[in-house]
Every structure is written in C-alpha cells, then in structure tokens.
Structure 1
Amino acid sequence: MNTRRLTGEAAVYTFGIVLDTLAPFLVLPILGRYLTPGQFGLADVITATAGLTYFAVGFNLDQALTRYYYDEEDAHRRRLVTTHLAIVSVSGTVFLVLGVMGLHAFRDGLQDLPAWHWALLSVPLMVMSDQAATLFRLQHQPFKQLGLLSVRAFAWVLFTFFFLVWWRAGISSIFIGRVAGAVFGLGASGYALRSLYALRGSLRFAIRALRFSLPTLPAAFASWGLVNAARYFLVIGASAEETGYYGVGVRLTYIVSTIGIGVVMAWGPFFMGIKQEPDAREIQARGLLYFIAANVVCIVPLLMFAREAVLLLMGSQYLPAIRLVGPMLAATLFSNLSLFLFVQISVSERTHWQSVSYAIGLVVMVIANVLLVPAMKGMGAAIAMLCGHLATAGTMWFAGQTVYTVPVSVTRVGILIVVLTGCLVSAPAMTTWFGTTFQGISVRALLTVLLWSACLAAVGPRDVVRFARTMVGKRT
C-alpha cells in the first residue's frame, strides 16, 4: 500500500472536486440577490430534470471504466477508452433528440423554455467532460484532471455571472455557464486526451461495459430520486419558495459530499489494485472508519454555523433554509457512505446490489415525502431525504458484508454516530440560545473543537499518528 501516493492523489482529486463545486458557490451570492426563492426553486427543478437525463446518458460508465481499465494491457486500454466514448456519444445524441421533442410537446406547460433547452444541451457535454476527468484519474495524472476541472469551473462562473448580471438572462444563465464550462474544459484538455484514444473501439469492450453498467442504471435513477425527487413533491405539495429553501440546504451539503467523492475517486482505483493482497480486507475496514470520521468532522462546523453560512451565501431572504441543514447533512453522510461501500461490492462484481440498495432507499424516501411534506413542507422533505439515504446505506452495508466481509469496529463507528447525533440535536439550540454574538460564536467554536476531539478518540489517536507518519514518507 503506497499510502503517500494515495494521500497525494486524493488531496489533488479532492482539491479539483472542491474547485469544481466551488464554482456554483461563487455565484450563489449573486443568484441570491438576482433570483427570488421561487425562481431559485424553479432553477432547481430544471437542474433535477437535467440530472435525470445525465444519469441516463452516463450509464454509470465511469464505474465500468474504473473496474476494467487495469485488467487490460496498455495496448488495449486506448480501444477500451474509445469504446466508452462512443457509447456516451451515441446515448447522448439519442437523449438530446428525445429531450428536444419532449420539451416542444409540453412547451405550453413549462416555465422559462429557453432554460430547459440550455439545461438539456449541457447534459452530454458534462458527461463527456466528466469521462475525460475520470480518464486522467485512471492514468494517475491528477494535475491534468485538476486543469480540466479548473477551466470548467472558471468558465462556468464567468459566463453565469455575465449572462445573469449584464444580459439579464435569468435562470438560463446558470445553464449557459454549464455549457460553456464543459466546452472550454474539453477544449483545454484536448491535446492531452488525444494520445489516450484509439482510432476505433471494440465490440467486446462495449458488450462488457453495458453488461456491467446496465444493472447499475436503476441505481443511478434511484440515486437521482433520493436527492431530487423531493423538489417535485415540494413544488406540488408546498410551493416554489420551499423548493428554493430546500435547494439552499442541498448546496450546503455539497461541501461534505465533495470531500467524500474526492476520497472515493482515489480509493476506488487504489483498492482495485490491491484487492488480491492478504490484508486488503483490513485496509478497507480502516479506510471505512477514517472515511466516516472525516465526514463527521466536516459536518460538525457546518451544523454549528449554518446561519452564518446561509447569510454569507444567499442573503437574509433565504434564512428559512437553516432549519433544513441538520437532517440534510446527516443524509449526506449516509450518501457518501453508500459510495464508499460500493467499492467493496465492486470487488465481487455483484453490482446489482447497488440497484437494490438505492431502490429500497428511494421507496422509503417517497413514502416519507408523501407522509411528511404536506404537513412539514421543507423539513418533511429533508427528513425524508435522511430516511432514504439511511435505508440505502444500511442495505449497502448488509450487501457488502455478505459478498466481501471486512472487520469493522462497531464500537468505534457507534461513537462517531453518537457524536453526529449529539451535534444534530444541539446545534439548532446553540444558535437560538447564544445567537450571533461574540460569546455565542465562541461557545459554538469550543463545542466544535470538543466534538472533533471525540472523533479523534473514536478512530484512535495512535492510529492517526501512525497513519500520518506513513503519509510523510513510509510505505506499508
């Protein structure tokens, strides 16, 4: 296990994902002042619909590419990559045509039709740029991936800002920026990507990729539903304003999900490379414990300072979103945990368990939305999201331990869950009792440090120190 290399790549990947996620955050203060909560809610509904198309086009091919890339010799890898690009291109074209036909068929019932068109166009372009980023990751070229994501993020911010502030394009500016970001990102990485593709693909690779990916497609749709279906329940059962508040809460969770995705992106290829080693199961167990601890460490300050975060990002008119932050951050923890556990399931190639897990989570979330949204509005949707992700992670854990058992310390994980639960209960009260005075902020900061210490105690200080020394210059 080359821990130093793993840690270095994970840091660069995480930085790239943070940068890519930071782009929408940079324009949030502008969106909060130029868009009302109702407009922001409509933009979220359009984004959610485009996300459904994104999963349909992507076919989870990144997972298939990661799974089989290292099984092929160097001479065949270029044809494998070309095959995956061809599948994305064909599926993207088909869904783009079908999407345009669908928009024109229902144009009378849609608000802001140009925004829907721009959102649809952004889907295949974003899938292609994400696949290019995955390819750089598999080549162990984190800085090239960072370059692609940096250009994409910069173009997104620049074009969104210009079309929103000067052109007054409204909601459409968000998706114009997304299209521009994908185009400029691919253009900037075109020269580096040229040598990684072959002139033609392989039918054998295409069949294998589809055989791996298609069983995960229901999981992709269910995963989309876990995150986005609540927006439709809110639009129908509450209001566009409540949808906007829900969207603000989701964006605060991006900070945690970004770190989780960055770690999983590095962990997946790494673990696939050592899965045959005798201590692979122990390494997976240790990685899982540290992963949960890192997520809890990120969640604690966001919970304690949710009010300040909403004021900074969106302004005072979005303050009602504060009440949704707690359950949504907890849901993000279990969402990240599901991603990490899928690496464990992928070793056995029983990818149907992902679809089963997300389907169970989606059913739980839909039932919770039906029961809670009419009475509790946005809070009901947030609690439903937590229930859905908890059911997904629980099923994924059962599946992972069934197909590839790892020796996880239940006691240590339990301590981390207790810390998270205590923070969920105490954070809203802390904001109410102590307010935004200097003394109140100091008390919340002190409590944050104490909860961090509890996380350190859960994972074991000696283990952390030993792991840190390994990262500096040793190989284990």
Structure 2
Amino acid sequence: MKKEKSKIQLFVQGSFFLVISNVCLKAINFFLLPLYTKNLTPSMLGISDSITTFTSILFPILVMGLDSAYSAFYYDKEDADRDKKVFSTISFTFLCTGIIPMLMCIVSGPLSELLFHTADYKIIVCIALLSVTLNLWGLSFSLELRLKNKMRSFGIISIMASLSMVLLNIFFVSILKLGESSLILSTAIVAGEHLLLYALFTGSIPRITWFDYGLLKKMVKFSIPLIPTVLMAWVLSLSDRYILLYYYGDFTVGLYGIGARFVTLLNVVISAVTTAYTTFAFGSKDQDNAKRNYYYVFNVLSFLLMGIAFTIAVFSKDIILFMTDDAYSSSYVVIRDMMFGQVFYAMSTIVSYGIIFQKKSIYSLLSVSSGAIVNIIANLVLIPLYGITAAAFTTMIGYLVSLAECYYYSEKLYPCEYGIKRIMITSILLYAVSWSLMETNLMIQIITWGGCVITCMIVYKDVLRLIIEYVIKLLPLYRRKQEEK
C-alpha cells in the first residue's frame, strides 16, 4: 500500500512541479501576444505558422513512433541492461535520421515555392528544417529523463528554455523586427538549447557497445503501425492550415494561428500530466488498485481542463480584443472549438494506455484515422464556405470521434472504469453554454459562468475533494523535505 501511495505521490508531485515550472513562463509568453500582434501582421504570422506546420509533420515521421516504443520496451526487463540498450539504440537511430532534414535544406527553395508560390522564404524553411534535426537529437535524452522520473530536472530545463524563447521572441520580433522569420529563428535556437540541457541533465552517454540491432528491429516492428498514426494525427490537428492557405491565403492562417495560441494555456497542464503519467501508468498497471487510480487521474485532469476551456471560451471575445491588435479581432470565433477539441485530445491520451499496455498499436491507428478522415472530409466541404470557423469546429469533431473510438478499443483490451459518461455529458453542456454566451454582454457571461462553476463543483465534489486533499498533502511533504535538508 505504501509503495502504491508512493507512486501516486511521485506522479502528482511530478505533474505539479512541471505545471508550476511551465505556467509562469508560458503565461509570460501568452501575455506578450499584444507585442507580437502589433509587430507581426496576420500574413507574417500565417507564413510562419505554415512553415512550422510543414516541419511538424516531418519530425514525427522521422521519429517513426520510436518514442512510444521507448517507454513500451524500457520496462521489459529481459536483461539487466535493457534500459541502457534502449537509450543507446534509440540515440544512434535518431542521430542518423536527424541528418535527413539537413539534407532537405538543399531543396528549401522548391519547398518555399510549393507552399507560397515563391522561393523568397527558402532561408526560413531551412532554419525550420535545422530545428527538426536538433529536436531529433535531443529526443532520446528527453525520454530518458522522463522514464527515470527526473521531473525536477525536466521542469528546470523547461523554465530555462521557455525563458530563452520569450526573450528571443521579444528581441527578434520587437527589436530586430525580423518579421515572419522571428518565431522560427527563436525556435531553432531553443531547440539547440534543449539538446544541450537534456544531455547535461541526463548524465547518460549513448555508447555504440550498447546499440542492439535486434532490439531495434523489435521496437521498429512495434512502432511501424504508429507511423501512419502520426500522419493521421497531423491530418487531424494541422491539415486545416493548408486548406485555409489554399482558399483564403496566409492572412487567414495568421488569424487562425492566434486562436491556436490560446490552446497553449491548456497544453501547460496536458504536457505536464502526460509527461509524468507514462512512468506512473507503466509502474502501476500490475497493482491491485491501478484502475481506480487511473480513474482519478482521468477525472481530475478532465475536470481541470474543462474548467479552463469553458472559462476561456465564455470570455474569448473580450480576451482577444484585450490581448491582440485590431487586425486579429475576428480570431475569437475559433477559440471555443479549439479549446474543447484539445480537451478531447487529452482525454484520448489517457484512455489510450489500455491500448499501449497490450502493445496493440494498430488500434491507435484506427481511432486516430477515423477522426482524421472525418476531419479532412468536413474541412474540404465546410472550409470553403465558412472559413476559420469551420476549421476549428471540424477539428474538434475529429478529436471527439477519435476519443470515442480510442475509448472503445481500450476498453476491449484493458477494461477500466473511467466515468467517461459523466465527463462527456458535462463537456457537451459546457460547450453549449459557452456557444450561447458568445455574443451576450459581459455581465450575463459572468453570472452564467459563475452558476456553471458552482454546479460543476457540486457534480464533481469527489474530484474536487481529491484535488484539495493532494494539495494539502503536498504542503507538509515539502516542509518535511526542507527540514531534512
């Protein structure tokens, strides 16, 4: 029982530390939106986002799903040195695949012409490609930190890198006024910083003697179905940018991108919890009360994310008017659907561990593909008619379809009572309320929001009680550690 409690506490502490370490810096970057929107036109932002979207599909293709294989095989103790072999094998694999984006710089001109019908942005494309290489080389060190549960180190790195990103963005956007290249150049520099910090904090060096070709074959066999899964995930989450670019141009993509940046507030929580959850989930799955613990994690995370999404959705118009330049004022129409879509994505990430435990990655492919197919068809039909509003809505529906199918397969493979019915009913009702309040006055929004918050606190009193208990437990634990020092 003590062992189980220790695992839960480690997970909560790890998640809590990562949230705290990220939220301040992410908040700073978020509140710098007025600075960005004042110095970057929607067209500049649209060009930057279009290039970033392109490289965002290249990265997971080159990863080949081996990040998931890393955790799946890391805990298979077939021999005493399995963890070292996994780390070194993956490190040298990414070292090789990281060369590909560097070679692609040769065709950065044609890639620029493909995206924008001009080669003027070839240098920016090249910088974005180099970012992919640096991220690939740092990935194995990042995964090693996670699976060793060094969440404090992970948080410190996140703070340092986030601070650098904020300062670089201010310097390039506002002082040097580099336009559409500003954010991409900042990202490339921070990717290099990430690589150095991960390598330093991990304290592990990949050795060729630990490279295991047989192990690599097993991991590749596991991850092959994940490659099309990654492609489908990209279609589900980012393909709408290119449809918008085709029909409406980079100006509209820039408007859409501002709405997408509000999702960062949710991603602070999502990335922290999912980063810590991998170690907790695999380390707890054979314990008697594992499924009960998964239930609480799912409900606490969903409760928090719904609260954030609902709050931002209700006040999205006023927030956009306050936070951005007048040129971006219409972007508020996408925030509600983007926020709730991200909530559904986070839910599917947690419930998908039933599939991962059984190493049936084909079901991940099926669930993501269903959402992607629904999304792409709806995008092609609705975006030409309704623009960015349709893009955000269809993406949310795609995530909802993916969640439903992922939950179905996961329950077949690893039955676990998540209480998803209560969560989904609440999500739909909160979405409907936020939709009805979009064009009402601020006082009505505040009163209705307050009523919904009180109602949710009553309905989720068990979850709220759990959150309060763990927050209280963290305080004496922290004091005890300080006294021991």
Q: Are 1:13 and 2:14 an aligned pair? A: no
**C-alpha separation in 2, matches of 1:257 and 1:352:** 26
What is the aligned partner in structure 2 of residue 453 from structure 1?
454
What is the aligned partner in structure 2 of residue 465 from structure 1?
465
Deviations 1:411-454 (A, max 9, x none): 522442244233332330xxx3324xxxx3xx534433332233
The answer (yes or no) to whether the contact 2:302–2:343 under 8 Å persists in 1 is yes
Q: Are 1:81 and 2:90 an aligned pair? A: no
What is the aligned partner in structure 1 of residue 329 from structure 2?
319
Deviation at 1:364, TM superposition (A): 0.6
Comparing 279-288 and 82-91, the one that deviates more: 279-288
Q: Which runs of 5+ in 1 are unaligned?
A: none
Helix, strand or coil: the match of 1:433? coil
**C-alpha separation in 2, matches of 1:467 and 1:16:** 19
**C-alpha separation in 2, matches of 1:86 and 1:152:** 24
Give aligned pairs, total: 463
Q: Name the CA shift for 1:257/1:240 in 2 (closer, same or farther; >3 Å).
A: same
Q: Are 1:338 and 2:339 an aligned pair? A: no
The answer (yes or no) to whether the contact 1:281–1:406 under 8 Å persists in 2 is yes
Amino acid at match of 2:124: A
The answer (yes or no) to whether the contact 1:82–1:199 under 8 Å persists in 2 is yes
Amino acid at match of 2:181: S
Q: Are 1:38 and 2:43 an aligned pair? A: yes
Deviation at 1:312, TM superposition (A): 4.1
Deviation at 1:381, TM superposition (A): 0.9
The answer (yes or no) to whether the contact 1:230–1:369 under 8 Å persists in 2 is yes
Q: Name the CA shift for 1:408/1:183 in 2 (closer, same or farther; >3 Å).
A: closer
**C-alpha separation in 2, matches of 1:263 and 1:129:** 21
What is the aligned partner in structure 1 of residue 153 from structure 2?
144
Amino acid at match of 1:256: L
**C-alpha separation in 2, matches of 1:238 and 1:272:** 45
Which of 279, 299, 307 is the matching residue for 1:289?
299
Amino acid at match of 1:124: T
Helix, strand or coil: the match of 2:98? helix
TM-score of the superposed pair, with normalisation by structure 1: 0.90
Deviation at 1:56, TM superposition (A): 1.4
**C-alpha separation in 1, matches of 2:18 and 2:227:** 25
Amino acid at match of 1:85: S
Which of 122, 125, 137 is the matching residue for 2:131?
122
What is the aligned partner in structure 1 of residue 193 from structure 2?
184
TM-score of the superposed pair, with normalisation by structure 2: 0.88
Comparing 182-191 and 357-366, the one that deviates more: 182-191
Helix, strand or coil: the match of 2:359? coil
What is the aligned partner in structure 2 of residue 51 from structure 1?
56
Deviation at 1:172, TM superposition (A): 1.4
Amino acid at match of 2:160: V
**C-alpha separation in 2, matches of 1:174 and 1:315:** 18
Comparing 155-164 and 360-369, the one that deviates more: 155-164
**C-alpha separation in 2, matches of 1:411 and 1:383:** 22
Q: Which runs of 5+ in 2 are unaligned?
A: 475-485
Equivalent pairs: percent with the same residue? 18
The answer (yes or no) to whether the contact 2:351–2:410 under 8 Å persists in 1 is yes
The answer (yes or no) to whether the contact 2:101–2:130 under 8 Å persists in 1 is no
The answer (yes or no) to whether the contact 1:345–1:403 under 8 Å persists in 2 is yes
Q: Are 1:433 and 2:440 an aligned pair? A: yes
1:112-261 alignment runs, 5 A limit: 112-195=121-204, 197-200=206-209, 201-261=211-271
The answer (yes or no) to whether the contact 1:23–1:156 under 8 Å persists in 2 is no
The answer (yes or no) to whether the contact 2:259–2:338 under 8 Å persists in 1 is yes
**C-alpha separation in 2, matches of 1:469 and 1:24:** 31
Deviations 1:186-239 (A, max 9, x none): 323433333354453211331222122221111111111212111111111123
What is the aligned partner in structure 2 of residue 399 from structure 1?
409
